[in-house]
Amino acid sequence: MTTILILSVLALVAIAIWQMTKIFELSQLKAENSQIANDTDNKNNGYLLFAFMVFTYLITIFSFWKYSKFLLPEASSEHGAEYDYLLFVSFAIIFVVQFITQFLLHYFGYKYRGKKENKALFYADNDRLEFIWTIIPVIVLAGLILWGLYTWTTIMDVNDEDDPLIVELYAQQFNWTARYGGEDNVLGAANVRMIDINKANVLGLDESDSYATDDVIVKELHLPVGRKINFKMRSQDVLHSAYMPHFRAQMNCVPGMTTEFSFTPIKTTDQIRQDPDVIDKVKRTNAIRAERAAKGEDNSDPWEFDYILLCNKICGKSHYNMQMKIIVETQEEYDTWMAEQKTFAETVMADEAKPAFNTPKGETAGL
């Protein structure tokens, strides 16, 4: 409310000054009152053009200096490095080209500003120039697109080579559930039509399918480092998007179909926590949280970095909070954790009173 008041006062003051200047101009009858720009006007505009260019360059440098820290840390998946390199090269080209073209645009605007004695030259076209400024972008863009397509097809080649771990990511408004294939690494059949809330069969697993009995349903995703993971995504209600930024992975979750994405995590959670960028981010976040704690506000307990699965499609009003923790650990740690989890047979199929999924330690199950 105060902001609106201040803004209205500022607007009124600006209008008052403008009106007073008008009155002042009208009272100066002898002053030149031409609407046609003279040499001085053109020169001033030329200088302003230069000033604007310097402003854009300075704000670019400022943004790099101030906001680079918000970029993601180094990729934690095998394909991530190439993805990042492609993005870096694209940005570098855009940056260099815009730096040069902005300079030329503003410099020529200044150099050929209006002058009384100047006459415009009639210059219809120049085939060679047009050829040059067409062929250079064509070559650069074709290179980037071909490289991008090659990277895309390599990343999106989801296959069963190298014994991948199969994990289902199940999206619904507004939470994620993950399912492992169990001992046989094969997911049992499932369909939204078979969801049985009374039995807490929340993923709609087919109880008669033998592959489903050893499936493990969890609310915290654990991945063994160095092993290829093949994700199979399903959605219960609307379009969601499984987004794992630190692994440079994203795939839409579409109701009625299964989508796939595959990657190999290369850094454990413990390792990424040692990354200088991550240490810095944790420090900054905890400084803010300490301030909040001092004021007695919420969200003030110290934060520890964790990989995260987010929803990246605006799927409803609690979309912002649709997330699941990801823990990347050694094969041994993963095996120990998996051994503690209950299978689908041990939960839903054995006892109707128990929930059909495992909950992280210290949390109680709820639907």
By CB under 5 A, is residue 324 in contact with Cu ion? no
- The residue among 45 and 173 lying less far from Cu ion, judged by its C-beta, is 173
Instruction: Report in angstroms how near the CB of residue 75 gets to Cu ion at its nearest.
Output: 23
Shorter beta-carbon distance to Cu ion: residue 212 or 242? 242
How many residues sit close enough to Cu ion to count as binding (CB under 5 A)?
4
242 binds Cu ion (CB under 5 A): no
Q: Does 309 bind Cu ion (CB under 5 A)?
A: no
CA angle centred on 188, ends 183 and 189, rounded to 5°: 175
Q: Which residue, 223 or 322, is less far from Cu ion as judged by CB? A: 322
Least separation in angstroms between CB 306 and Cu ion: 19
Calpha distance 145→140 (Å, rounded) = 9
Smallest gap from residue 299 Cβ to Cu ion (A)? 21
Stretch that binds Cu ion, among 52-60, 117-125, 201-209, 308-316 (CB under 5 A): 308-316
Q: How far is the CB of 192 from Cu ion (least distance, A)?
A: 16
Q: Which tokens hold the place of 260?
A: 């796939």
Q: Which residue stretch of 12-20, 108-116, 235-243, 336-344 sits at the interface with Cu ion (rule: CB under 5 A)?
A: 235-243
Residue 75 or 311: which CB sits closer to Cu ion? 311
Q: State yes or no: residue 315 binds Cu ion (CB under 5 A).
A: yes
Q: Is 311 in the site for Cu ion (CB under 5 A)?
A: yes
Contact 229, 307 (CB under 8 A): no
Among 155, 272, 322, 328, binds Cu ion (CB under 5 A): 322
Interface residues toward Cu ion, by CB under 5 A:
240, 311, 315, 322
